[in-house]
């Protein structure tokens, strides 16, 4: 029996673990005591990740679709068919969906296949969920598209602000760090409409009405500016963009914001003062699905900037990433409007950059998001390449069925296979080398612990072989070769290598060769839209519904249901609420004659669902909350409201609640 160091691949915290290997199989998992972020802890998800490797739901061998459906074939036959099919489309007729769970190397090779071989710019992340807009705000302000602080500083902070997110469910070890910080004396503050575990541990929990978080942040910023609490450089207009931001808030109605949010001006003033006085202040907010919109993120950043807490040691704001490599996949350029390294398109120099890195022609133009292209009538797409996929949410299944060719690469059997013409089984993260970039820019190397099960192959190798059949001779023989290319093309990763990453438990944070925020001094980020109160509730839809996460349900259960304890806990929740649930305040429940666990109908302008009421003071009067993880709820109600759900806490849905 042997123990091998690695990184948990469930969420963006990137906790360190040790996998126990015996007779070529992973038998157990243990926390890594010396890991700088997780410090010898794993959450319940991480404690069971080894069960994934043993599941019988693996795709054992390559499959191609014939008259009788999907049939097993040899690797050569599957790759030949995939190459022949993809080779008959014109550039721009193929779309590619990368996976935020895949390693940097796998995503990078998919990007290279798209732009360098197929000549298409239509590539993005299926679960991007606004991370790119969040990181874009931070880049706009600092040139650094990622966390502006370190999780390792949390325990020594004296002020910790959590905006919105239910961290204990999304990234439990990050929440645990905040709890350690609070126990060490930090002033822990939560701003969120719903009562979360972390809100209960907070010294102050401000509960704004749903949809008013942006107003609250703007109010805090205005108080800092108008009442002389802000950083002197910012107040004097010496920070680029500060004067314009200040002007944009002149007309902002502080009293009106307090009224709309249901908070008092005194409470806001008190909080602004505590932030201003803190010496080591850090802010946290969710990204991705259930994250914050672009302007709300800009306000969090501007608030900390105005308070003098950006670019100062021990301070900063950290966007919390839900999925393991969402941040890294963005760094790799899995986006239609960016190249690897966040080089924004259009850019006249972009093609030369790709040519010099990859040789040969490459499409360096801006493309479209695959989901958007599938949605339009007369879609230009004729073929789709999908790497991994969440099990229960297959948006646009009808549009995908109409495509001429669909290639699916994944480790686990999945309903997406029903849509595919060729299925290529990939190795799991324990079966190949690969790097993953966590929520605070930590690039970590996961070494192969076991051989791939059945006939699975690493995705990077499959893509390299496919590119070779399509005329792209990449010459990659190992993931380290690909990482060397990444370090050449992604400036922040320059200086990193497998040799360096391999000797550092916890990896390296980017930028590897320079200090963080080493570029021009931070700038204020302007808002794109005016700050307005949400439309008043109307008679037809008087409640505001928010959707959110679960501890025991992760990645749309594609992974979690294959692990025993999390599946059991998930099912335990369904024992109480088998039809799914919506949380409602006791006062509203009494007024509507509702009782806990009794069925209710939730009706919006676009859909409806019948679920059970969970009567709780965790939600405010006039607000209802739906965890977005129960199949029938997703299908009948949340899918038609996908736009609002993706806006997370900013995307409230007007609904009415009917007794059934």
Q: Which residues bind ligand SF4 (CB under 6 A)?
A: 8, 10-11, 13-15, 38, 42-43, 45-46, 171-173
Output 42 or 268, the one with its CB closest to ligand SF4: 42
**In the complex with ligand SF4, which residue's Cβ is closer, 173 or 492?**
173
For strands 281-286 and 159-163, give the pairing: parallel
The string over 218-242, giving b where at least 16 C-beta atoms fall within 10 Å of a residue's C-beta and e elsewhere, is: bbbbbbbbeeebbbeebbeeebebb
User: b/e map of 482-520 (b: 16 or more CB within 10 Å)?
Assistant: bbebbbebbbbbbebebeebeeeebbbbbbbeeebbeee
> Which residue, 47 or 408, is less far from ligand SF4 as judged by CB?
47
Residue nearest to ligand SF4 (CB): 46
Residue with smaller CB distance to ligand SF4, 173 or 424 = 173
Q: Which residues pair with 413 in a beta bridge?
A: none
Q: How far is CA 29 from CA 20, 40, 50, 445, 570, in A?
A: 6, 12, 6, 17, 21
Q: Where are the alpha helices (DSSP H) in 319-439?
A: 326-331, 350-358, 370-375, 397-401
Minimum gap (Å) between residue 243 Cβ and ligand SF4: 41
Rounded to the nearest whole angstrom, what is the least distance from the CB of residue 30 to ligand SF4 in the complex? 11
Q: How far is the CB of 159 from ligand SF4 (least distance, A)?
A: 23
**Cβ distance to ligand SF4 smaller for residue 294 or 561:** 561
Structure tokens given for 24: 């070529």
Which residue number, 43 or 490, has a Cβ lying nearer to ligand SF4? 43
Give me the least distance between CB of 11 and ligand SF4, in Å please: 3
At 375, is the secondary structure helix, strand, or coil? helix
Shortest approach of ligand SF4 to residue 404 CB, angstroms?
Answer: 38
Q: How far apart are CA 420 and CA 423, in angstroms?
A: 6
Q: Cα separation of 289 and 617, whole Å?
A: 24
Largest Cα–Cα distance of the chain, in whole Å? 74
Nearer to ligand SF4, 42 or 305 (CB): 42
- Using the minimum distance from each CB to ligand SF4, give the nearer residue, 560 or 655: 560
What's the distance, Cα to Cα, between the start and end of the chain in Å? 57
Whole-number minimum distance, CB 106 to ligand SF4, in Å? 18
Helices (H), 70-212: 75-87, 104-112, 131-142, 167-170, 172-183, 197-201
DSSP H/E element including 301: helix 294-306
Spatial separation of the C-alpha atoms in residues 64 and 308, rounded to whole Å: 58
CB of 173 to ligand SF4, least distance (A): 4
Query: Cβ 162 to ligand SF4, closest distance in Å?
Result: 16
Whole-angstrom distance, CA of residue 477 vs CA of residue 198: 46
Query: Looking at beta carbons only, is 429 or 543 nearer to ligand SF4?
Result: 429
The distance of closest approach from Cβ of residue 626 to ligand SF4 in the complex, given in angstroms and rounded to an integer, is: 23
């Amino acid at each position: 029996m042997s123990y091998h160091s690695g990184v948990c691949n469930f969420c963006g915290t990137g906790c360190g673990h040790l996998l126990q290997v015996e007779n070529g199989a992973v038998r157990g998992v243990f926390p890594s005591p010396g890991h700088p972020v997780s410090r010898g802890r794993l959450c319940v998800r991480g404690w069971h990740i080894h069960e994934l490797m043993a599941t019988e739901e693996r795709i054992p061998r390559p499959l191609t679709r014939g008259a009788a459906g999907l049939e097993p074939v040899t690797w050569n036959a599957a790759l030949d068919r995939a190459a022949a099919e993809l080779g008959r489309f014109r550039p721009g007729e193929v779309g590619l969906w990368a996976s935020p769970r895949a390693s940097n190397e796998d995503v990078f090779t998919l990007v290279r296949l798209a732009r360098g071989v197929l000549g298409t710019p239509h590539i993005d992340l299926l679960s991007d969920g606004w991370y790119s807009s969040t990181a874009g705000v931070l880049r706009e302000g600092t040139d650094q598209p990622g966390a502006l602080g370190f999780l390792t500083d949390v325990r020594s902070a004296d002020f910790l602000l959590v905006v919105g997110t239910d961290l204990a469910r999304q990234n439990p070890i990050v929440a645990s760090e905040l709890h350690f910080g609070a126990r060490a004396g930090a002033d822990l503050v939560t701003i969120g409409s719903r009562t979360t575990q972390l809100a209960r541990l907070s010294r102050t929990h401000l509960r704004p009405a749903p949809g008013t978080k942006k107003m609250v942040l703007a109010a805090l910023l205005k108080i800092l500016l108008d009442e002389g609490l802000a950083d002197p450089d910012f107040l004097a207009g010496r920070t680029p963009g500060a004067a314009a931001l200040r002007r944009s808030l002149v007309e902002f109605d502080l009293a009106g914001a307090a009224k709309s949010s249901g908070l008092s001006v005194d409470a806001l003033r008190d909080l602004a003062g505590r932030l201003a006085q803190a010496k080591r202040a850090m802010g946290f907010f969710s990204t991705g699905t259930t994250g914050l919109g672009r302007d709300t993120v800009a306000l969090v950043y501007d608030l900390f900037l105005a308070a003098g807490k950006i670019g100062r040691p021990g301070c900063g704001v950290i966007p919390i990433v839900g999925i393991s490599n969402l941040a890294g996949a963005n760094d790799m350029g899995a986006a239609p409007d960016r190249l690897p390294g966040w080089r924004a398109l259009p850019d006249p120099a972009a093609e030369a950059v790709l040519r010099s890195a990859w040789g040969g022609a490459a499409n360096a133009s801006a493309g479209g998001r695959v989901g958007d292209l599938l949605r339009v009538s007369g879609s230009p797409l004729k073929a789709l390449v999908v790497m991994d996929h969440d099990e229960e949410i297959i948006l646009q299944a009808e549009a995908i069925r109409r495509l001429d060719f669909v290639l699916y690469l994944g480790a686990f059997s999945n309903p997406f296979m029903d849509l595919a013409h060729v299925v290529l089984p990939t190795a799991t993260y324990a079966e190949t080398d690969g790097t993953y970039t966590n929520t605070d820019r930590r690039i970590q190397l996961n070494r192969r612990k076991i051989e791939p099960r059945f006939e699975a192959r690493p995705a990077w190798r499959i893509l390299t072989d496919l590119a070779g059949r399509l005329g792209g001779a990449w010459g990659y023989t190992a993931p380290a070769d690909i990482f060397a290319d990444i370090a050449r093309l992604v400036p922040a990763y320059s200086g990193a290598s497998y040799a360096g990453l391999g000797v550092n438990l916890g990896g390296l944070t980017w930028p590897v060769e320079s200090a963080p925020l080493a570029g021009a001094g931070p700038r204020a980020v302007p808002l794109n839209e005016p700050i307005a109160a949400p439309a008043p509730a109307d008679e037809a839809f008087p409640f505001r519904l928010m959707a959110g996460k679960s501890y025991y349900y992760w990645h749309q259960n594609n992974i979690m249901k294959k692990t025993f304890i999390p599946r059991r806990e998930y099912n335990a929740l369904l024992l109480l609420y088998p039809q799914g649930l919506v949380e409602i305040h006791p006062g509203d429940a009494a007024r509507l004659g509702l009782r806990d666990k009794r069925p209710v109908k939730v009706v919006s302008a676009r859909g409806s669902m019948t679920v059970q009421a969970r009567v709780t003071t965790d939600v405010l009067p006039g607000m209802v909350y739906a965890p977005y993880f129960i199949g029938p709820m997703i299908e009948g109600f949340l899918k038609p409201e996908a736009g609002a759900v993706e806006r997370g806490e900013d995307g409230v849905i007007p609904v009415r609640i009917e007794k059934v």
